[in-house]
Amino acid sequence: MGLKNIYKDGKPYLKSKNYAAMVHQATNTLTVRDRKDHGRRRRVIQQGLSDSTLRAFEPYMYEIINRFCDRMIQTVEEEHQARECGQSHNALENQKWNTSRNMSEWCNYLAFDLMATFIFSGKYNMLEREQYRYVVQCIEQSNIRVSSILQAPILKAFRIDKILFPRAIVARNMFLGFVGKLLRDTKKNDRSQRKDLFEMLSHAKDPESGNGFTPEEIVAESVTLVVAGADTSATAMAAIFFYLSRNPDAYARAAAEVRSTFDSVEDIQGGAKLNSCRYLRACIDEAMRMSPSVGQTLAREVPVGGAVVDGDFIPGGCDVGVPIYAIHHKEDIYSDPFNYNPERWMVEKEGASQQVSDMYAAYNPFSVGPRSCMGKGVALVEMMATFAVVLFRMDFKMADTDTAGGKPGSVYGRHRASEYQLRDHITSAKEGPMLRFRPRIVKPAVA
């Protein structure tokens, strides 16, 4: 298939020239076209994404995730203290649900806090403080411009983008101002006791050449990782919340799995027990299939002399690619592709049918091949940990005011009420879902 031909076969495809539109001051692993340079950068960054770095980050990760849960149920606890006695059990249970939360916003804050801590040991605490929340809005607004010039570089070449996207230009400048502060804070903080990614990249060497990153490259790679990592993880988390809140059977099974696996919230940590939650992982995978954080075509330039893609010859110099959203919804690969069905991922790959093998081969929310997302491991650890803690500590349900799904009667593609609606701006822009939370109710055992 085209996915294998373009991204996996080892052909000398380069990233499209259009990615130059995303370069600010220095190229990074996302935008660099040269394969040798990309390989060098990737080998250095992978050292910073080691198991030891993740283990050092884990206590801070769970602290942030629990802070997120505290915010989700904070008003519930406050209101519960003020309730009058004498109400029926059912009425009291209903009142424990808090006011609705916009999960696109809260997942943005959670993901940014996680990535800023992992990469810079930064404590901007968007979950509890509004001071820096404008940053995630700046990223989303700036992406509208960048996604347009990625498709039409002429807009930037003739400065037309400044006319078409004035708000995005302002947002970009505000974000760059924040980046300056972030780097100043990072340099002045005591870094002797922390093993964050920025510190690791400052000392890591390419095992093949013996060279490390220049200061400019460290900044470019670190900022790209925190922005891309936070944005995509936030979208994935919001999608998981959306689909679990609308699919009660999947929600109940995932919650039961987590609550029977762990004895306490403190018991939740990376390792064999968390990895044993296969249905939770299936729920995560299915949400990313349905609503991938990056759904567009990751364009590649056909090498000189041309190449055969999915049986067709394509001349050299053309841009080709496979849209992630499209292949994730191909009916001959995924049965009932617009139905959220985590059970499809509970089938073992080993010895599976061709249909199952094709399903796994086509699944690529992090892309595939030598230029796939290097942060995949970090993202999956964060998502598994987040939803294990959430399902252990809380219950949640869709709010009456939620409109994050499609609307019957809308234009094709926006008409499915059961599908989380995203907008493609390089990464996916989102709104909602609106959910209500309450502390998990543990029913006493029957004597």
Whether residue 58 is contained in a domain is answered as: yes
The predicted model scores a pTM of: 0.92
Q: Are 132 and 230 in contact (CB under 8 A)?
A: no
Residue 235 CA to residue 391 CA, distance in Å, equals 18
Residue 405 is given by DSSP the state: B
pLDDT at 389: 98
Which of left, alpha, beta for 413 (phi over 0: left; psi -120 to 50: alpha)? left
Q: What is the domain range of residue 168?
A: 2-439
* Structure-token pair, residue 38: 């990309």
Whether residue 445 is contained in a domain is answered as: no
Whether residue 447 is contained in a domain is answered as: no
Whether residue 393 is contained in a domain is answered as: yes
Looking at the 3D structure of the chain, how many domains does it have? Answer: 1
Measured CA distances, 82 to 79, 233, 301, 368 (Å): 5, 36, 63, 53
Q: Are 277 and 258 in contact (CB under 8 A)?
A: yes
Whether residue 381 is contained in a domain is answered as: yes
* Structure-token pair, residue 323: 């849209």
373 in a known ligand binding site:
yes
pLDDT at 76: 53
Average confidence (pLDDT) per 10 residues, the chain, 447 residues? 79 86 82 91 91 90 97 69 48 69 97 94 90 94 92 91 94 91 81 76 90 90 89 97 98 98 96 97 98 94 91 93 96 96 90 87 94 93 98 97 93 95 93 95 57
Whether residue 446 is contained in a domain is answered as: no
pLDDT at 420: 98
Whether residue 343 is contained in a domain is answered as: yes
CATH of the domain at 352: 1.10.630.10
Q: Are 54 and 337 in contact (CB under 8 A)?
A: no
pLDDT at 2: 79
